[in-house]
Amino acid sequence: MSKAFVTLPQADRFALINATLAGITVEDGLPSSQAREGLVQADLIIAGGKIEAILAAGTAPADLPAADLSNAMVWPTFTDMHTHLDKGHIWPRKPNPTGDFMGALSTVKADREARWTAEDVATRMDFSLRCAYAHGTSLIRTHLDSSPPQHRISYEVFADMREKWAGRIDLQAAALFAFEEITDEAFFTDLLQVLKTHGGILGGVTLPLADLDHRLDLLFRAANDHGLDIDLHVDETQDASVLTLKSIAEAKLRNGFEGSVVVGHCCSLTQQADDVAKATIEKVAEAKLAVVSLPMCNMYLQDRHAGRTPRQRGVTLFHELTAAGVQTAVASDNTRDPFYAYGDLDCVEVLREAVRIVHLDHPLDETARIVTRTPADILGRPDHGRIATRAKADLVLFSARSWSELLSRPQADRIVLRSGQAIDTTLPSYRELDPLMES
Ligand SMILES: Nc1ccnc(=O)[nH]1
């Protein structure tokens, strides 16, 4: 396959020479002492669809067929650890009239109750996965709206989709439901059954209810009993009086829960007094919660009031959490639905916007980890998100040679290698979805 910036050899064993790698994404075999802004030069040898060797630049054997990247960047494929594939692309038929969180909730509910048949969900999910795949993503966790009876419909679709996409995009799914529903025993028991059947993850939205601790204990006990990981929507508000994050950390410690616990959003943490935020962050670190921020969606949804300019960015205390030793990552969240009108499951866009919104630059040295290594680790899949010898040659090649070049353009000319072979990166046409958008 030929693109403007490089022609790849047609060979089973070949070299990519003079590549620029983000050192934080390289598992082994590279002296990083030369790194500038975290970037290092290297030659990669690809053989039989795998990475055979990672060598110092200019040292690949000269007799191998080679592509000279002239310092173009090579990244591992991406991990998008918090998405909503079940909601994706309903925007044309169900736009959010106000663009705010309450508008999103009610609009999605109406659309879900009226239109989320298995076929509707499957068609939109598959479309989203084709976008993500073309952009270079290999691992996705989605949340699935799981208020009854949707949990029964969407998990069946998801299980089929996971099988259909196996080897191209690895999929995980967390059940999203309101914490009011956890005491509905018939529902919660049925939900746990669905999650066990389909290998799901226990999710939910924590709310500042009077008996929150009791409800969290129900959640952690159920997760313990059934061997499920947990992934929650947490404090997605600018209301400083809402702070369930600390209660979640305490509940994990109190219940001696050993599984993985991810907390998403955590926006109201930015609204706390410094000492309150600090105490919460210390608890989050002690409990080893992993935090995912959704900068694009939350800048859209948070602090939105008609006719008033937003003052807040809607993110969490990303730098402070990271400094405290908490695993932190970013992800797409919603795409073209009432929670976020835009987006295409492109981790390059997520990275670029996160850098700008959260100031993840100056230095950029370790920033590449937020859509690669760290989210893959959080999802328990350290086989994703890094460039490693003997690993599959699942790589993304950019014409960009530096951070400035990478983050300034959309990288629409990227080359995606899966098992060492360039894939078709043509994006599906929105016109395909027109039959689903009729009112
Ligand atoms: N940001 C979001 C919160 C809840 N549900 C969603 O789909 N998205």
**What's residue 29's pLDDT?**
59
152 and 44 co-located in one domain: no
152 and 273 co-located in one domain: yes
244: tokens are 């369930």
Residue 150 lies in a domain: yes
Residue 4 lies in a domain: no
In whole angstroms, give the CA distance from residue 423 to residue 45: 19
pLDDT > 70: what percent of the chain? 98
Quote ipTM for the complex. 0.97
249 and 110 co-located in one domain: yes
Picking from 131, 77, 84, the residue whose alpha carbon sits closest to that of residue 265 is 84
| Domain residue limits at 223 | 78-378
If you take atom 5 of ligand 1, which residue's CA is the nearest one?
Answer: 339
Interval 380-427: pLDDT, tens = 999 999 999 999 999 999 999 999 999 999 999 999 999 999 999 999
Question: Distance, CA 28 to ligand 1 centroid (Å)?
Answer: 37
Say if residue 32's pLDDT is above 70: no
Helix (H) or strand (E) holding 160: helix 150-165
**What's the total number of domains in the chain?**
2
Contacts of 166 (CB under 8 A, 6+ apart): none
pLDDT > 90: what percent of the chain? 96
Interval 250-259: pLDDT, tens = 999 999 999 9
Using pLDDT thresholds of 50, 70 and 90, give the confidence band for residue 31: low
234 and 369 co-located in one domain: yes
* CATH number for position 157: 3.20.20.140
The stretch 178-184 carries a mean pLDDT of: 91
**What's residue 172's pLDDT?**
98
398 and 373 co-located in one domain: no
First CA to last CA distance, the chain: 42
Residue 412 lies in a domain: yes
Is the C-beta atom of 101 inside 6 A of ligand 1?
no
Interval 187-215: pLDDT, tens = 999 999 999 999 999 999 999 999 999 99
394 and 359 co-located in one domain: no
**What's residue 35's pLDDT?**
81
26 and 45 co-located in one domain: yes
Residue 325 lies in a domain: yes
* CATH number for position 54: 2.30.40.10
25 and 165 co-located in one domain: no
In whole angstroms, give the CA distance from residue 75 to residue 23: 10
Using pLDDT thresholds of 50, 70 and 90, give the confidence band for residue 161: very high
Surface-to-core class of residue 414, CB atoms within 10 Å of its CB (0-12 exposed, 13-18 middle, 19+ buried)? buried
Say if residue 369's pLDDT is above 90: yes
Say which of 156, 236, 250, 320 is annotated catalytic.
Answer: 236
Residue 135 lies in a domain: yes
Residue 399 lies in a domain: yes
124 and 174 co-located in one domain: yes
Say if residue 276's pLDDT is above 70: yes
Residue 6 lies in a domain: no
234 and 271 co-located in one domain: yes
292 and 358 Cβ atoms separated by less than 8 Å? no
Mean pLDDT of all residues in the chain? 97
Could you confirm whether 113 is annotated as catalytic? no
Select from 124, 141, 147, 176 the residue to mutate for testing ligand 1; criterion: most ligand atoms less than 8 Å from CB: 176
261 and 400 co-located in one domain: no
Question: Distance, CA 394 to ligand 1 centroid (Å)?
Answer: 30
Residue 390 lies in a domain: yes
Is the C-beta atom of 330 inside 6 A of ligand 1?
no
Question: Looking at 344, 378, 412, which one is the last position of a domain?
Answer: 378
93 and 175 co-located in one domain: yes
**What's residue 33's pLDDT?**
63
